[in-house]
């Protein structure tokens, strides 16, 4: 069995002259949750639409368990559950009636399947409320029920927690974790909320302007994030000269707050502190600072924060 449930090879999508996704190489490991993280308009939805064969890539190849999606769409898609952009259902029907339509299209005869899917997302099978009367949270839940109804091996969910209240978000998070860990499902989830992805995903891909900037496990990304030593001293200018002269440190800067920041994190701090004290410099604070995932995201996307 292939190691990757989903793999893309240099997929590119160009609309007119605008490049929406560029040479994207994504690797979603089987039985894991992959978080595709990016700002609004970064190319997450376009990527997911290509993965669901809703739009054709201009170039590149999409593989599901090593098989080309383009050539095997009819065999692959029945094993994929999806939710793309906002939920789409018939407003004149109830949630159950809507699911019955898609169950019929998928040739699912057993209504118990619909019932259990609805119960899993906290909706009632017997509810007579029309879809047009649903709240945004209920619509989102119904879309998730549709995605899981046919017990797919792979779930592709585009911003599934949009519109959910905090309790709903936590429920969906737990539910997705359970699907992955207990049922072995592979889940690809997109979001612009970093904290959500960090809490849920095993692997993260960071996309910006259609380019996948980083990909790896949470641990990989944490290791890649910058570490530095931060000193708060009485005379930062003199202290920095001492660092250069005694320890050969060339990468340092004095922040506006007066803190002396040294880029190297593998120095032996007691030696530095002893030198400062011997030279009559008062040391108020000495610590190793680590870049958060958000700061890391900011740095590699070269811009503002996210979520």
Partner 1 sequence: MVNLIICEFEKMKRQKIIPVIIALSTFFPLLVAGSIKLGMNGDESIRYLRMKFDFSYTMMFGYGMIFFEPFLLGILGTLLFFKERDADTFKNIKTVPVSTEKLILSKLVVLLIYSVVYSLINMLFLIFFTFLLHAGEPYDLLFKFMYSVILGVGICIASLPIIVLLIYFNKSYMISIIFAFFYCIFNWCIVGAASTDGIVPKVMNFFPVVCVMNWISGQLVDNIIRDNVSEEARALFASSFHTVCLLGVTTIVCLVLIFRFYKKWTR
Q: Which residues bind partner 1 (CB under 8 A)?
A: 49, 52-55, 73-74, 77-78, 80, 82, 84-86, 88-93, 97, 100-102, 104-107, 130, 146
DSSP 60-116: EEEEETTEEHHHHHHHHGGGEEEE-SS----TTSBHHHHHHHHHHHTT---HHHHHH
Task: Give the span between the Cα atoms of 149 and 180, in whole angstroms.
Answer: 15
217 near 29, Cβ under 8 Å?
A: no
CB nearer to partner 1: pick between 80 and 200: 80
DSSP 132: G
CB of 64 to partner 1, least distance (A): 13
Q: 161-181 burial string, b = 16+ CB within 10 Å, else e?
A: bbbbeeebbebbbebbeebbe
Burial class (CB in 10 A: 0-12, 13-18, 19+), 143: buried
CB nearer to partner 1: pick between 88 and 303: 88
Task: Give the span between the Cα atoms of 23 and 43, in whole angstroms.
Answer: 12
CB nearer to partner 1: pick between 132 and 226: 132
Q: Which residue has the tokens 């990016």?
A: 38
Q: Which residue has the tokens 């170039």?
A: 59
CB of 86 to partner 1, least distance (A): 7
CB nearer to partner 1: pick between 38 and 152: 152
CB of 15 to partner 1, least distance (A): 11
CB of 54 to partner 1, least distance (A): 6
Query: Mapping DSSP to helix (H, G, I), strand (E, B) and coil, where does residue 257 land?
Result: coil
CB of 27 to partner 1, least distance (A): 22
CB of 213 to partner 1, least distance (A): 27
CB of 289 to partner 1, least distance (A): 45
Query: Mapping DSSP to helix (H, G, I), strand (E, B) and coil, where does residue 125 land?
Result: coil
260 near 231, Cβ under 8 Å?
A: yes
164 near 172, Cβ under 8 Å?
A: yes
19, 68, 289 from 22: Cα distances, Å: 7, 19, 34
CB nearer to partner 1: pick between 22 and 94: 94
CB nearer to partner 1: pick between 14 and 281: 14
CB nearer to partner 1: pick between 37 and 145: 145
CB of 182 to partner 1, least distance (A): 25
CB nearer to partner 1: pick between 104 and 241: 104
């Amino acid at each position: 069995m292939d190691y990757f449930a989903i793999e893309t090879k240099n997929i590119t999508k160009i609309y007119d002259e605008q490049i929406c996704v560029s040479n994207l190489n994504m690797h979603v490991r089987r039985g894991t949750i992959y978080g595709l993280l990016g700002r609004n308009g970064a190319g997450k939805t376009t990527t997911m639409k290509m993965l669901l064969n809703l739009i054709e890539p201009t170039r590149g190849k999409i593989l599901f368990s090593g098989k080309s999606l383009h050539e095997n769409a009819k065999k692959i898609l029945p094993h994929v559950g999806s939710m793309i952009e906002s939920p789409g259902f018939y407003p004149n029907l109830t949630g159950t009636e809507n699911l019955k339509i898609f169950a019929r299209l998928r040739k699912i005869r057993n209504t118990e399947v619909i019932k259990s899917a609805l119960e899993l997302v906290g909706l009632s099978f017997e509810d007579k409320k029309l879809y047009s009367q649903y709240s945004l949270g209920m619509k989102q839940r119904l879309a998730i029920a549709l995605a899981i109804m046919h017990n797919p091996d792979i779930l592709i969910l585009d911003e599934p927690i949009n519109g959910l209240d905090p309790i709903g978000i936590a429920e969906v998070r737990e539910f997705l974790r359970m699907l992955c860990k207990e049922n072995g499902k592979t889940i690809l989830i997109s979001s612009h909320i970093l904290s959500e992805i960090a809490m849920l995903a095993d692997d993260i891909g960071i996309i910006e302007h259609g380019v996948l900037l980083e990909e790896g496990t949470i641990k990989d990304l944490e290791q890649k994030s910058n570490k530095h030593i931060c000193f708060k001293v009485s005379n930062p200018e003199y202290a920095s000269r001492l660092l250069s002269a005694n320890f050969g440190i060339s990468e340092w800067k004095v922040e506006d707050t007066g803190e002396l920041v040294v880029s190297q994190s593998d120095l032996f701090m007691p030696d530095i502190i002893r030198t400062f004290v011997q030279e009559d410099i008062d040391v108020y604070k000495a610590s190793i600072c680590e870049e958060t995932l958000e700061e890391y995201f900011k740095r590699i996307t070269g811009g503002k924060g996210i979520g």
